[in-house]
């Protein structure tokens, strides 16, 4: 199962957009013009917006220097 999440590194942002297949299908939109990630869930053939996150405002998210610095101790940004 793929979980939609955002992982911040100093030089990049890794975004796992989720999956269209399985029990919890989702859609993730990256709107660079609006500087936002928007998460949608698909249920019973309906699409529902379930969350947003800023691409550039990372003050409330942990930012690692690089992948070697990643320790797994963090509060993931997810959209349920």
Query: What pLDDT digit, counting tens, does each position of 59-79 carry?
Result: 989 999 998 998 888 888 877
Q: What is the DSSP letter of 26?
A: E
Percent of residues, the chain, with pLDDT higher than 90: 51
Task: Tell me the helix, strand and coil percentages in the chain, rounded to 5.
Answer: 5, 45, 50
pLDDT at 35 over 90: yes
Instruction: Return the structure tokens found at 65.
Output: 């220097």
The reported pTM is 0.81
Label residue 2 by pLDDT band (50, 70, 90): low
- Please count the residues of the chain: 80
Angle ∠(9,68,27) on CA atoms, nearest 5: 45
What residue spans define the domains of the chain? 1-56
Angle ∠(42,43,48) on CA atoms, nearest 5: 55
């Amino acid at each position: 199962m793929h979980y939609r999440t955002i992982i911040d590194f100093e030089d990049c942002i890794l975004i796992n957009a989720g999956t269209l297949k399985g029990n919890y299908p989702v859609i993730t939109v990256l709107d660079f013009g609006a500087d936002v990630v928007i998460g949608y869930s698909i249920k019973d053939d309906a699409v529902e917006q379930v969350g947003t996150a800023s691409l550039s405002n990372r003050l409330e998210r942990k930012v690692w220097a690089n992948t070697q610095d990643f320790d797994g101790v963090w509060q993931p940004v997810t959209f349920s």
